[in-house]
Amino acid sequence: MLKNARREVRLSQDQLAKRAGVSRTTVARMENLAKGDMSVSALVRLLEAAGYDLKLVKPGHTRTVEDILAEQRRGDSA
């Protein structure tokens, strides 16, 4: 997911790392899911640097919890 987000905005690992304030090595490790290198805070910073938000979505669903709550506030039926 991170690699796809980075590529979509046409950033190198180094460029994304600099925007997020982490090392390029961290980006490479997280893109390759190196065991023990999945810092949630670093992942959030990297995704934000690429213009994305990290959101929780139940497997098999496309709407986030935020989407459902917004629909309920508007009175939409789910």
Q: Which domains, and CATH codes, for the chain?
A: 2-74 (1.10.260.40)
Note if the pTM is more than 0.75: no
Number of other CB atoms surrounding residue 5 within 10 Å: 17
Distance between alpha carbon 56 and the CA centroid of its chain, in Å? 10
- For the stretch 4-47, pLDDT in tens is 888 989 999 999 999 999 999 989 988 887 656 567 888 888 88
More confident residue, 7 or 70: 7
